[in-house]
Amino acid sequence: MIYLDHAASTPLDPEVITAMQACWASPAGIGNPSAVTHAYGRAAAEAIEEARVELAALIGVDPQGIIFTSGATEANNLALQGLARGRADFGRHGISSRTEHKAVLEVLQSLSKQGHTISWIEPQRDGRISSMDLVSRLRADTQWVSIMHANNETGVVQDIAQFATLCRERDIFFHCDAAQSVGKIPIEAGKWGVDLLSISAHKFYGPKGIGALYVSERVRPWLVPLMRGGSQERGLRPGTLPTAQIVGLGVAARRARSLRETDTAHLKTLVKEFKQALAALAGLQFNDHPLYALPGLVSLTVEGVQGESLLAALPQLALSTGAACDSTSGEPSYVLRAQGIAPEWAQSTLRVSFGRGNTREEALEAARAISEVVPRLRKRDQPGEPPARGSIPWQVGEAGSIREGCRVRCYVQRDVAGKVHAIEFRAFVCPDVQRVLDELAEVLPGQWVESLKVGTPADWAERHHISAEKLGRLLRVEDALRQACKQA
């Protein structure tokens, strides 16, 4: 299998593994970094401070502004909930965009239920956010703005420096979810005037379960901690720090800083080769920005193919149809819909994210595999009725739509005796529904049209282990079959 889901998580850098193993076996791995009265605790504390310095250097800030968390999700929660609580007496208005990660969106939805007002910015067609749209939503009671640096689905990069400057000029705090961009593109959070910046180690070859929130001195007095129970991390994030994980984060940050230019050149080459290899395949749309794009990430909409079926037909490729956190929902991407992409095609989008270890051969193999399966899948839903089988006309029944992710056309031939002479399905469906169609096409020929023995959609779901969420799609199959048989 070729791993092409680096936007979801990256493999550990070998030097990170070595450093973490060494830490676990050393006094630093034993001691509590808060227990600095003895050598073990001091060793742990020193290892953590070294990592803090490395991470600060990667994003261009003072090391004292780095607060270690369990990842970007916790960092986003601390930044937004902590600031909203700390500034509630001054105003309860904030601004964000419709294309943020759910780790931001769900926090803001929670704040709105607590009496805060959120103004939303819609992206432009290319995914970029206009500074004019931001300014137009600023109010006298606006306390903060939260806009991500690079989108996790499309890789579109925003002008964070401009947004942060606009906020500073108006004494408004600016938060940035930079989980996807840290370690991949240059960041100068201090120079740009960013107040809060969220980081996740496993997005740039570090360990899972560790990240950080950068907190500027300007915003520090206003940030209320989410938890109580200790004075660690300047009182903002209590709890004993995981020394080895933080060491791994520090090494990943150092490696990212030294390899960034090399990585960027490599990833841009892979994307170029990948896209060129797909040039002959019609009905494709690339959603990543031609100029302001995260290196290595390609968002590819494939018209005429159901997203789940496309993934199932590519078992040799580890990729996704969108954000990892949404991969099982079955819903069209809210990010792509916000960019104006029709729902029926938003759910037929692949996110291909290359990484440091991918090769040119793997990029070309991925393009070859996609080019091979797409025509085959489109053939399942080709227009027009099936080729004639004798002189008996086809009768057709149709239900569902591409927009709802399931369209079924059933073609039936009925012989003079009243039996099913032939049956064929043309469908835009997921693999689960396709299995049901294949079974029906096999068992129905020879049965009496007026008394088909096929069971119910509930029976099909149980027999094929299909989740209850897809029962509506199976009802569309039943509707199309009944219509075709009624006409036959």
As annotated, the active-site residues are 325
Crossing angle for the helix pair 72-86 and 102-113, to the nearest 10 degrees: 30
Rounded distance, CA 78 to CA 84, Å?
Answer: 10
Backbone angles phi, psi at 317, to 5 degrees: -120, 125
Q: CA dihedral in degrees (66, 72, 73, 75; nearest 10)?
A: 10
CA nearest 405: which of 337, 309, 287? 309
DSSP string, 12-69: PPHHHHHHHHHHHTSHHHHS-TT-TTSHHHHHHHHHHHHHHHHHHHHHTS-GGGEEEE
Rounded distance, CA 288 to CA 299, Å?
Answer: 6
Q: Tell me the residue type at 336.
A: L
Give yes or no for a contact between 194 and 164, defined as CB atoms under 8 angstroms apart.
yes
Find the angle CA(127)-CA(132)-CA(138) to the nearest 5 degrees.
Answer: 110
What letter does residue 407 receive in the DSSP assignment?
Answer: E
Give yes or no for a contact between 473 and 400, defined as CB atoms under 8 angstroms apart.
yes
Backbone angles phi, psi at 339, to 5 degrees: -85, 0
Rounded distance, CA 206 to CA 72, Å?
Answer: 13
- What region, left, alpha or beta, does residue 177 occupy, with left being phi > 0 and alpha being psi -120 to 50 degrees? beta
DSSP string, 259-310: HHHHHHHHHHHHHHHHHHHTTT-SSEEE-S-SSSB-TTEEEEEETTS-HHHH
CA nearest 389: which of 430, 422, 351, 344? 422
Order of all β-strands in the sheet with 349-353? 284-286, 297-302, 349-353
Give CA separation, 209 vs 79, 99, 241, 245, 407, in Å.
18, 24, 11, 8, 41
DSSP string, 174-218: EEEE-TTTTTTS---HHHHT-SEEEEEGGGTTS-TT-EEEEE-TT
